[in-house]
Chain A
């Protein structure tokens, strides 16, 4: 199966990823439109990877998490730092791992 890549983030990230040949791009401005776009991408079935900046992912919060829980294997979501290099202190994966394993696991870049 051949699927597309989508990018959601600030202008720099989106510009850069477009230069790299990413087909679907969305510059984040407000929650509403970004969530609509994400829902569309998830349900379209022809997106394999969504690249989203940590800052936007954090702003979308629970809404994004529940969307990701409801999807199948694809699209895969990857959170990246934006042009300012922003990384949240706690990310969702280490949060979940702490709950599962019962111990802090450091997963830092």
Chain B
């Protein structure tokens, strides 16, 4: 942005600056609308997240309780061993979606819950408590996936909101005021030139009238 001293006080420059100001204002309004939309989106995600978090963490607590009774009944080593032998089959079907230019993750809720035979650890020497713990953790895992997605969304939207806010502020407090300043400067300069010209013309008229008078006298 040119400082006042570098500006050439011409009509063309004035028109150019006024156009830029109008454009900056339009941009500002659009960004502000985007910000409003983002805030609404953020709040709906946060509400969803809160519910998901409550249910996932509840389930996780249940799972840990089941696991600790399993540790107690079967022994820690045996439980860990069974966990090692478990079939690790959980896979996530993932993709992305676009929300106002923000890329967000999409993960389908996996079906983690299996029956005891499907888990793959030996049925021999493992207790029903182990089945129970595995089931509770499978349920917890299913709930964690949508929670993770909601948290990632909240983060991404908050980030976008932050950068949009910065841009709105830059327009509102830096660019637009500077353009206004420049427009004001040029208008005052042009008025001054106008006044100078006016008095110059007056002076010339007077001189010419004097000459006319002396000639006719």
Binding site for B on A (CB under 8 A): 1-5, 11-23, 48-49, 51, 73-74, 76-78, 80-81, 83, 85, 93, 96-97, 99-101, 105, 107-109
Task: Select the residue from A19, A74, A78 with max chain B CB neighbours within 10 A.
Answer: A19
**Given A19-B133, A76-B149, A93-B155, are A83 and B64 neighbors across the interface (CB < 8 Å)?**
yes
Interface pair B92/A15, CB less than 8 Å apart: no
Expressed in whole angstroms, the minimum distance between the Cβ of A97 and any Cβ of chain B is 6
Which chain B residues lie closer than 8 Å to A20 at the CB level? 90, 112, 134, 137-138, 140-141
Interface pair A78/B64, CB less than 8 Å apart: no
**Given A1-B94, A100-B158, A100-B162, are A74 and B105 neighbors across the interface (CB < 8 Å)?**
yes
Expressed in whole angstroms, the minimum distance between the Cβ of A28 and any Cβ of chain B is 15
Which chain A residues lie closer than 8 Å to B112 at the CB level? 20-21
Which chain A residues lie closer than 8 Å to B94 at the CB level? 1-3, 48, 74
The size bracket of the interface on B is 35 or more
Interface pair A2/B88, CB less than 8 Å apart: no
Which chain B residues lie closer than 8 Å to A97 at the CB level? 42, 46, 154, 158
CA distance A18 to B45 in the complex (A): 30
**Given A49-B148, A100-B161, are A19 and B93 neighbors across the interface (CB < 8 Å)?**
no
Interface pair A76/B152, CB less than 8 Å apart: yes
Interface pair A73/B133, CB less than 8 Å apart: no
Which B residue sits closest to A15, measured CB to CB?
Answer: B83
State which of A14, A17, A48, A101 has its C-beta within 8 Å of the C-beta of B39.
A101
Interface pair B92/A100, CB less than 8 Å apart: no
CA distance A74 to B156 in the complex (A): 12
Which A residue sits closest to B113, measured CB to CB?
Answer: A20
Which chain A residues lie closer than 8 Å to B68 at the CB level? 12, 83
Which chain B residues lie closer than 8 Å to A23 at the CB level? 88, 90
**Given A12-B67, A93-B151, A105-B46, are A1 and B39 neighbors across the interface (CB < 8 Å)?**
no
Expressed in whole angstroms, the minimum distance between the Cβ of A7 and any Cβ of chain B is 9
**Given A15-B67, A48-B92, A49-B107, are A5 and B83 neighbors across the interface (CB < 8 Å)?**
no
- Residue B95 lies at the interface, judged by CB distance under 8 Å to chain A: yes
Interface pair A19/B130, CB less than 8 Å apart: yes
Expressed in whole angstroms, the minimum distance between the Cβ of A31 and any Cβ of chain B is 23
Interface pair A18/B86, CB less than 8 Å apart: yes
Which A residue sits closest to B107, measured CB to CB?
Answer: A48
Interface pair A107/B105, CB less than 8 Å apart: no
Which B residue sits closest to A21, measured CB to CB?
Answer: B90
Which chain B residues lie closer than 8 Å to A49 at the CB level? 92, 107, 144-145, 148
Interface pair B119/A19, CB less than 8 Å apart: yes
Which chain A residues lie closer than 8 Å to B151 at the CB level? 76-78, 93
Interface pair A2/B61, CB less than 8 Å apart: no
Expressed in whole angstroms, the minimum distance between the Cβ of A81 and any Cβ of chain B is 6
CA distance A17 to B162 in the complex (A): 35
Q: Can you list 29 A-B contacts with CB-CB less than 8 angstroms, sorted by A residue number? A: A2-B91, A3-B91, A4-B91, A5-B91, A12-B64, A12-B67, A16-B64, A17-B137, A18-B83, A18-B86, A19-B138, A20-B134, A21-B90, A22-B90, A23-B88, A23-B90, A73-B104, A73-B152, A76-B152, A81-B57, A81-B60, A83-B68, A97-B158, A100-B158, A107-B53, A108-B50, A109-B50, A109-B53, A109-B56
